[in-house]
Structure 1
Amino acid sequence: MSDNTSRETTSKVERVIREYGLGDMGETLEAYWTGETEEQYSLRDLADFFNQAVLGAELNQKNANQLEGEVENTYRLLTDETVSSGIQIETENSLARDGIDVEQLKKDFVSHQAIYTYLTKYREVSHKSKVDNTKTQIEKGTNTIRRLQNRVVAVAETTLTNLRNTDRIELADFEVINDVRVVCNECGQSYPIVELLEMGGCDCMM
């Protein structure tokens, strides 16, 4: 098969999976999109998930030291439009010092449209939501909040550690606590958000 024919019959997502040794990533993307797992991802979430896996694989290949949550934070610093150009350049330079071709890495990141094309055209997957019942939606919401809380804690820990290790702040051993609470304006009772969801609402409404 010629290179031109190969490019026409292979999606970018499939090529990147192969080149970065992402194994069963195709099955994982399919499961997350169709809701076969506890969580059901949007296409944009899947693109971020995929690109973070690409970044993680590249860091592992270069034997770059990784703290918990660092892959997600590094990806954010590379791609988030709200991050300043100075921070992005500093992040790119740090990756380059680890021997990573940052320009090629960013070219290998995929869009949510590429994920959609890969799933529908190359894997022939149709998108079907889980049964829309109360329990499923509460569980989905709870899992999403927990995932985001864990991500916030990981990013905060990584940021504080990096600032401390580069002598930008003074900080001893520390722990980051992310406690999101909901206050009912009817009765004034306060709940941790996950507890409120698991209870099914505020006591005063039951």
Structure 2
Amino acid sequence: MSGNNSQKKTSKVERVIREYELGDMGETLEVYWTGESEEQYSLRDLADIFNQAVLRAELDRNNASQLEGEVENTYRLLTDTSVSSGIQTETENALARDGIDVEQLKKDFVSHQAIYTYLTKYREVSHKSKVGDTKTQIEKGADTIRRLQNRMVAVSETTLTNLRNTDRIELADFEVINDVRVVCNECGRSYPIVELLDMGGCNCMM
């Protein structure tokens, strides 16, 4: 038996793809990592994408209702170390009520190292970073900031809702706004940070 065939038999990613019937997920991971799509994703991003697909498949298999954005937020509540143990337990209990084996589900989540091994040894993919492409790096930076802003809003909303529902604070219907701005000390103008990146910098320097 060749080393390559042995690797194929021991790939956790491939096993999970089969067990959760994720179809062309392997090809998707390859395209996202090599940059053949519009954006080139990091291994950690790919692990999140993969694990969210696993969660979505398990919810579908148990006919659990899914609101827009719910899969991403549920995955965050299950895995984000910034989420309190109480909220994580509530999330796990809610999934269990839908008939999901949460312990097995979390065991089937994969790490970015597993993604790397799968792509390089199982699919024999080589990775070429677009580090020289300025436009790509700006877009990637802006996307990272957007994700962090969305994550901050989601964490804030979850925390406030939990505190309100447990009668620790008094709060009516609310909305969390995360507005990060950059002030140019040369001209005094301020910009939303993503807008500044989209513009390519401050107007006073152009």
TM-score when scaled to structure 2?
Answer: 0.82
Q: Is the 8 A contact 1:196 1:202 kept in 2?
A: yes
**Alpha-carbon spacing, 1:162–1:55, altered in 2? closer, same or farther (3 Å):** farther
Residue 96 of structure 1: aligned partner: 96
Match of 2:172 in 1: 171
Read off the aligned partner of 2:125 and give its amino acid letter.
V
| 2:39 and 2:136 in contact (8 A); partners too | no
Higher deviation after alignment, 104-113 or 185-194: 185-194
- Per the alignment, do residues 6 and 92 of structure 1 end up closer, same or farther by CA in structure 2, a change over 3 Å counting? farther
Q: CA deviation at 1:131?
A: 5.6
Identity %: 83
- Residue 203 of structure 1 deviates from its aligned partner by 1.8
Matches within 5 A, 1:22-171: 22-130=22-130, 132-153=132-153, 170-171=171-172
Question: Which residue identity lines up with residue 26 of structure 1 in the other structure?
Answer: G
Aligned pairs, number: 200
User: 5+ residue gaps in structure 1?
Assistant: none
CA positional deviation for 1:141? 1.9
| CA shift digits 1:144-191 (9 cap, x unpaired) | 333444455566667767877x5856534x555433221112222110
Which residue of 1 is the match for residue 184 of structure 2?
Answer: 184
Choose 66-75 or 25-34, whichever is displaced more. 66-75
1:48-72 Cα shifts (integer Å, max 9, x gaps): 2111111111112212222322222
CA distance in 2, matches of 1:162, 1:70: 16
SS in 2 for 1:53: helix
Once the two structures are TM-superposed, the CA of residue 80 in structure 1 deviates from its matched residue by 2.1
Deviation at 1:87, TM superposition (A): 2.1
Verify the 8 A CA contact 2:16 2:108 in the aligned structure 1: yes
Range with greater deviation from structure 2 (101-110 or 174-183): 174-183
Query: What is the DSSP-based 3-state SS (H/G/I as helix, E as strand, rest coil) of the residue aligned with 1:182?
Result: strand
Report the residue type matching 1:47 in the other structure: A
Contact 2:7 2:122 in 1 (8 A): no
8 Å contact from structure 1 (residues 39, 143) kept in 2: no
Q: Structure 2 vs 1, CA of residues 37 and 8 (structure 1 numbering), >3 Å: closer, same or farther?
A: closer
Deviation of 1:124 (Å):
0.5
Structure 1 stretch displaced more, 79-88 or 13-22: 79-88
Q: Relative to 1, partners in 2 of residues 1:61 and 1:162: Cα closer, same or farther, differing over 3 Å?
A: farther
Aligned in 2, Cα 1:144/1:65: closer, same or farther, shift over 3 Å?
same
Q: Distance in 1 between matches of 2:155 and 2:62?
A: 22
TM-score by length of 1: 0.82
Mapped contact 1:69–1:154 kept (Cα < 8 A) = no
CA distance in 1, matches of 2:191, 2:67: 32
